[in-house]
Amino acid sequence: MYKKLSNLGFVIGIFFIIISLILIIGGLISSALSYKLNFYTGFTFLLFGILMVFFNRNNDQQEEN
Amino acid sequence: MNLHIADYLIIIVYFLFVIGVGFIIKKKIKTSNDFLTSGRNIPLWITSLAFISANLGAQEVLGMVASGAKYGIMTVHFYWVGAIFAMIFLGVFMMPFYYGSRARSVPEFLKLRFDEKTRGLNAISFAVMTIFSSGISLFALAKLLEVILHWDFDVSIWLAAGIVMIYTFLGGLTSAVYNEVLQFFLIVLGLSPLVIVALHDAGGWSNIKTLLQPEMTHAWKYMGHADSNPMGINFMSLIFGLGFVMSFGYWCTDFLVVQRAMMAKNMNAARRTPIIAAIPKMFMPLIVVLPGVIAITLMQPALASKGFSIPSDGKGGLDYTMTLPALISHYYPTGLLGVGITALIASFMSGMAGNVTAFNSVFTFDIYQSYFVKNRSDKHYLIVGKMATVAGILFSIMTAYIATGFNNINDFLQLVFSFVNGPLFATFLLGMFWKRTTGHGAFWGLLAGTLAAAATHGLTLAEGKGGWIYPLYEIHSGMGQAFIVASVSWIVNFCTTIIVSLFTKPKPESELKGLVYSLTEKPSYRQNKWYLKVVPLAIILIVATLILNFIFF
């Protein structure tokens, strides 16, 4: 786990996933956050976060091989 | 501007992550080199993004949006004239010397190439500049949060400084650089929705061109004469002052940015760092210049119904510095507002951490180890590096409070930058490409260049600034004055260094190998693919930059 956490791409991916969840889930449960712009941005951040985590997982596997 | 609990949550998550990065990196820190230079073990994509992030501080983000609103699309010159070419030059010609010499800092390189006194002059002036710059960043952050969010000024200063101190103290340069990359993505992704929404609201680029004066939407067309463009300078001053002296002086010699390339794993990665960094740098105007141009368009009578305005400065003009916060406040709803505010905070903290980590390296290696305590254990210098980090933060806080008592301290800082950085590139250019350049020549050239900068500022007047010796010559804009000051200082340094060098004894050639172009073996990477080579990448970037200049001509 420490190895993953010391991988910057993984950390950045997790950060953007958390921010996207705040925007998306917040928008679903609270009228104060229910704006189209929050949803669009949230999904973009989610996609970016997943890609960062995914690509860095592949990099880790390549380094191990 | 009022924040909702979700906005605060996003800010708190950001703070937790930057501190968390510090704790993660702490385990890797074993020696003073790990702490102060990252042990030259950082991947290329991180060094490249850190290279431009170190320059993506608050002055850059807020300042360029403000300039976009004030001067229009001409502000792109700071990127397409004043950055890309210098970054390419650094990668192609100068990194082999910085990296190959194994110097740990730019002042240390000056010691290897010239002598101790030239290093001392550069190290002390750089250390003072970084502390001032860091303090101004802190002051500006606290002031901005006080104005737009009504946060307490003292709490903002101590909170921001405390967070930067935790992660730089724990993880040193690596921690600062990792956070700079996180901050880079946050700034770019956090401000992108603003550009898209505001551009759509303004009716797209074609409508902007229709509504604004033509000189606001052309980069070069109105540069023939200083009177015909909002920046008040002609193309010759721009190309020599910004495109050569200031740009090369900053990107090729400022340790704050060069330090990021010096952390790379090998010579090829070090050379490619500024070149790879130039790619996102080329497109940064979309994030930091375009919003300013959009903002001023939204204030045109035809778009009055949009209800956007840049706040007044209280003297009948516009407070352009508030352009970006005003756009964020106008377009971002709760939630995204937290992202926008966090991006602004990130840019301030990034600027501050970059300065503090450059300060602790220069203080430890070039001042403490060189002049005070030599030949001690590595552990001793690691502790000194950590203490220098704490001291740097405390001095920054002190500077931030001093700044509250002066209206024009930021102008003063910019002036000091142009005095110190302006002439410096002449020293490096001659030192790296003319083996006859001597230590005495470099020292007296630097000193004469700095004094010439001060004298030029004292004899010219622009927007009420300067002219403190005698207002001999009036210049249209403060920016034009900065270009002229830098140009004069560069020429004086260049000539003085040559003259003094011709009358003093140079170092023997055997001591200059790896430090001077003609005496250094050229790196060859024949086995690499073209996209891994420095020169083909540089040529592609130059062509792309020229095309962008033609498109927005």
What is the per-residue pLDDT for B527?
60
Q: Which helix (H) or strand (E) holds B460?
A: strand B460-462
Integer CA distances (angstroms), B308 to B14, B172, B313, in order: 29, 42, 16
Q: Is A38 on the interface with B (CB under 8 A)?
A: yes
What is the per-residue pLDDT for B533?
83
Whether residues A26 and B6 touch (CB distance < 8 A) is answered with yes
Integer CA distances (angstroms), B51 to B72, B90, B182, B212, B349, in order: 26, 12, 13, 34, 15
Q: Is A27 on the interface with B (CB under 8 A)?
A: yes
Q: Write out the DSSP string of B383-400.
A: HHHHHHHHHHHHHHHHHH
pLDDT band at B480 (very low <50, low <70, confident <90, very high): confident
Sorted by where each starts, the structural domains of chain B and their CATH numbers stand as 5-22+29-405+533-551 (1.20.1730.10), 410-522 (no CATH)
Q: Is A40 on the interface with B (CB under 8 A)?
A: yes
Mean pLDDT confidence for B274-286: 94
> Measured between beta carbons, which residues in chain B are less than 8 angstroms from residue A22?
6, 9-10, 13, 335, 338
Which pair of tokens denotes residue B350? 């990034």
Mean pLDDT confidence for B251-273: 91
Whether residues B4 and A32 touch (CB distance < 8 A) is answered with yes
Tell me which residue in A27, A32, A48 faces B189 most closely, judged by beta carbons: A48
Q: Is A45 on the interface with B (CB under 8 A)?
A: yes
> Measured between beta carbons, which residues in chain B are less than 8 angstroms from residue A44?
189, 193
Mean pLDDT confidence for B23-51: 88
B48: pLDDT strictly greater than 90:
yes
pLDDT tens digits for range B265-277: 988 899 999 999 9
Sheet holding B460-462, edge to edge: B465-466, B460-462, B473-474
What is the per-residue pLDDT for A3?
66
Mean pLDDT confidence for B76-105: 91
Q: Write out the DSSP string of A43-58.
A: HHHHHHHHHHHHHHHH
pLDDT band at B409 (very low <50, low <70, confident <90, very high): low
What is the per-residue pLDDT for A62?
54
Mean pLDDT confidence for B106-135: 91
Tell me which residue in B28, B181, B336 faces A38 most closely, judged by beta carbons: B336
pLDDT tens digits for range B501-517: 999 999 999 889 889 98
Q: What ipTM score was computed for the predicted complex, to two decimals?
A: 0.91
Q: Spell out, as residue ranges, where chain A has pLDDT lower than 50.
A: 63-65
Tell me which residue in B28, B333, B339 faces A19 most closely, judged by beta carbons: B339
Among residues B333, B3, B344, the alpha carbon closest in space to that of A42 is found at B333
Alpha carbons within 13 angstroms on the beta-carbon side of residue B249 total 30
Mean pLDDT confidence for B70-84: 92
Helix, strand, or coil here: B473?
strand
> Measured between beta carbons, which residues in chain A are less than 8 angstroms from residue B197?
37
Angstrom distance (rounded) from CA B468 to CA B247: 26
DSSP character at residue B366 = I
Which pair of tokens denotes residue B265? 């794993």
Tell me which residue in B17, B21, B334 faces A33 most closely, judged by beta carbons: B334
Does A55 or B439 have the greater pLDDT score? B439
pLDDT tens digits for range B287-314: 999 999 999 999 999 998 888 999 887 7
Which pair of tokens denotes residue A34? 């229910």
What is the per-residue pLDDT for B304?
87
Range of the domain at A15: 2-64
Mean pLDDT confidence for B526-549: 86
Q: Is A16 on the interface with B (CB under 8 A)?
A: yes
B370-395 b/e (C-beta count within 10 Å ≥ 16 → b): beeeeeeeeeebbebbbebbebbbeb
Within a 10 A sphere around the Cβ of A38, how many other Cβ atoms? 26
Which of A3, A14, A33 is the best mutation test for B, with the most CBs of B within 10 A? A33
Among residues B195, B322, B333, the alpha carbon closest in space to that of A36 is found at B333
B518: pLDDT strictly greater than 50:
yes
Vertex B356 angle, CA B351 and B361, to 5°: 130
What is the per-residue pLDDT for B117?
93
pLDDT tens digits for range B336-381: 999 999 988 888 888 889 899 999 999 999 999 999 988 899 999 9
pLDDT band at B397 (very low <50, low <70, confident <90, very high): very high
Among residues A20, A53, A36, the alpha carbon closest in space to that of B332 is found at A36
Whether residues B24 and A38 touch (CB distance < 8 A) is answered with no
Angstrom distance (rounded) from CA B215 to CA B108: 45
Q: Write out the DSSP string of B51-118.
A: HHHTT-SHHHHHHHHHHHHHHGGGGGHHHHTTTHHHHHHIIIIIHHHHHHTT-SSHHHHHHHHS-HHH
Alpha carbons within 13 angstroms on the beta-carbon side of residue B389 total 26
**What's the total number of domains in chain A?**
1
Whether residues A40 and B193 touch (CB distance < 8 A) is answered with yes
Among residues B12, B19, B325, the alpha carbon closest in space to that of B145 is found at B325
B220: pLDDT strictly greater than 50:
yes
For chain B, what is the mean pLDDT? 89
Which pair of tokens denotes residue B41? 């073990």
Angstrom distance (rounded) from CA B424 to CA B489: 9
Within a 10 A sphere around the Cβ of B75, how many other Cβ atoms? 25
Whether residues B335 and A18 touch (CB distance < 8 A) is answered with no
Mean pLDDT confidence for B529-550: 90
pLDDT band at B86 (very low <50, low <70, confident <90, very high): very high
> Measured between beta carbons, which residues in chain B are less than 8 angstroms from residue A32?
4, 6, 334-335
pLDDT band at B526 (very low <50, low <70, confident <90, very high): low
Q: How many CB pairs under 8 A join A and B?
A: 76
Which pair of tokens denotes residue B150? 């009504």
Which pair of tokens denotes residue B122? 């550069």
Contact status, residue B170 vs residue B25, Cβ threshold 8 Å: yes
What is the per-residue pLDDT for A64?
47
